[in-house]
Amino acid sequence: MKKVALILLVGLAACGQDLKPRVDKLEKENALLKEMTAPLPSSLDNYFPPKAQGPVYLMEMFSLSNPFEGIGIDLQEKDLPGAKANFDAFRAQYLKMSVMVPEWKEKFPVGPVDSLGLAMGSGNPAMIGSAMGRIGRLCASCHVINQIRAQQKYSWPDFEALSLTDPITNQNISWHESMMRIANAFTAIGNDLGQGQIENVRTNFKSFSDRFISLSANCSGCHDTPRSYFVSQNVQGMVSDLGKAVAATPPDGKAIGQLLGAIGNESCMKCHLVHMPSATAKSFWKAYPGMIR
Ligand code: HEC
Ligand code: HEC
Ligand code: HEC
């Protein structure tokens, strides 16, 4: 009996030892996934409008990268005093940034910077190269997760902050609601054509066309200078051709199919490829953490 208990205990202890590295690895993976999906640390808000006058954090990043790149430039020019001055400026800016966002404190470890200082003191090019490379990877490891998200959060306006007027009902509607109405009418054209409901095809075309043409009035909600690309004369020409194909007796089914496809590709799809990532990220952050089940 005692022997069995002992074997069990030894077995359990061995299992426990096997599990420890796996648990550690899973915990690290979990922390990384959380960082990738959770909204950015809220204290970053202090360094961007509307809380700050301008994109302060971005400007501070440039003040970090300029002396860092300066070190490399000066070393190539064999300007050692210049490289040393750039190193001191870089180190000071690095330490300043390490406390700006408390949640990111550990992302600015001081060890690699001190190693670069030592390497520069030694004058050994290989040591300097590897110390700079290590810092470069440190910068990149934060950028790969956080830079695009910061751009989406602070540099992209929010589509949902815009208020649009529906040209048919004159209601004030959100961007999303406008998209849904355009998409419903757009899809209904093909659907009703397939069912031979010609009057519905024409009503839906009118609803689609009015709403789609009025969409271009809303680009100025974000763009200071005119933008036409996805709602250009070319695309509006396709919408007008679609109108002719729908009005024909009988409606020109082949042309309608081709034009629906072309409008979908040239306007809806291409505009979505540019504008949707930031809009989707913003709505995800609003819903977070309710989306975790
Ligand atoms: C300004 C460029 C732009 C154009 C042109 C555009 N869209 Fe959109 N659309 C967006 C953006 C941005 C979103 C995401 C924000 C939202 O859901 O309101 C969106 C969202 C949508 C959605 C909701 C998708 C979802 O998963 O919730 C549908 C449906 C849609 N668009 C259909 C269309 C159709 C159909 C067309 C072409 C006839 C079109 N859109 C043209 C920018 C555009
Ligand atoms: C803790 C995270 C973090 C670390 C570490 C970090 N950065 Fe950044 N960096 C950011 C974020 C976030 C942005 C995006 C800011 C924005 O676009 O508003 C950024 C943007 C930048 C930009 C602007 C790029 C552009 O063209 O828009 C430069 C340059 C830059 N960082 C340099 C560096 C250098 C050099 C280092 C390392 C010595 C570094 N960063 C370390 C978070 C970090
Ligand atoms: C909610 C804000 C918003 C709205 C509304 C919006 N855009 Fe944009 N769009 C942006 C941002 C931000 C960029 C990134 C580059 C920039 O700022 O110009 C961009 C980029 C673009 C680009 C590529 C780069 C450039 O600047 O030309 C085009 C083309 C464009 N948008 C067209 C349109 C058109 C056409 C509409 C209306 C149908 C529209 N956008 C509506 C925010 C918006």
How many A from CA of 118 to the centre of ligand 3? 47
How many A from CA of 160 to the centre of ligand 3? 14
The bound ligand whose nearest atom lies closest to the alpha carbon of 157 is 3
pLDDT along the chain (293 residues), means of 10: 60 70 94 92 97 98 98 94 97 98 96 97 92 97 97 97 96 97 98 96 98 94 93 96 96 97 98 98 90 74
pLDDT at 104: 96
What is the topology classification, in CATH, of domain 42-155? Answer: Four Helix Bundle (Hemerythrin (Met), subunit A) (1.20.120)
Measured from the Cα of 216, ligand 3's closest atom is 38
pLDDT at 228: 87
pLDDT at 289: 80
CA distance 182 to 163: 16
Question: Which residue, judged by its Cα, is nearest atom 28 of ligand 1?
Answer: 179
Whether residue 109 is preceded by a cis peptide bond, meaning omega within 30 degrees of 0, is no
Using DSSP, state whether 77 is helix, strand or coil: coil
> Which residues lie with the beta carbon below 6 Å from any ligand 1 atom?
159, 175-176, 179-180, 182-183, 186, 212, 230-231, 263, 267-268, 271-272, 275-276, 279
Q: Confirm whether 42-155 and 159-287 share one CATH topology.
A: yes
pLDDT at 2: 59
pLDDT at 290: 83
CA distance 1 to 4: 5
> Which residues lie with the beta carbon below 6 Å from any ligand 3 atom?
156-157, 159, 162, 215-216, 218-219, 221-223, 227-231, 274-275
pLDDT at 292: 74
The contacts of residue 153 (CB under 8 Å, 6+ apart) are 39, 40, 48, 281, 282, 285
Question: Which residue, judged by its Cα, is nearest atom 30 of ligand 3?
Answer: 227
How many A from CA of 173 to the centre of ligand 1? 14
Question: Which residue, judged by its Cα, is nearest atom 2 of ligand 1?
Answer: 271
pTM score of the predicted model: 0.92
How many A from CA of 268 to the centre of ligand 1? 6
pLDDT at 157: 96
Return the domain boundaries, the chain.
42-155, 159-287
In CATH terms, 159-287 corresponds, of 1.10.150, 3.40.50, 1.20.120, 1.20.58, to 1.20.120
Q: Which residues of 181-199 are buried (b: 16+ CB within 10 A; e: fewer)?
A: bbeebbebbbebbeeeeee
Q: For residue 214, what are the CA distances in angstroms to 179, 219, 226?
A: 12, 10, 14
pLDDT tens string 49-64:
999 999 999 999 999 9
Measured from the Cα of 180, ligand 1's closest atom is 29
Instruction: Find tokens 């409901």 and name the residue.
Output: 197
pLDDT at 3: 64
Question: Which residue, judged by its Cα, is nearest atom 42 of ligand 1?
Answer: 272
Neighbours of 265 (CB within 10 A): 10
Measured from the Cα of 108, ligand 2's closest atom is 5
The bound ligand whose nearest atom lies closest to the alpha carbon of 235 is 1
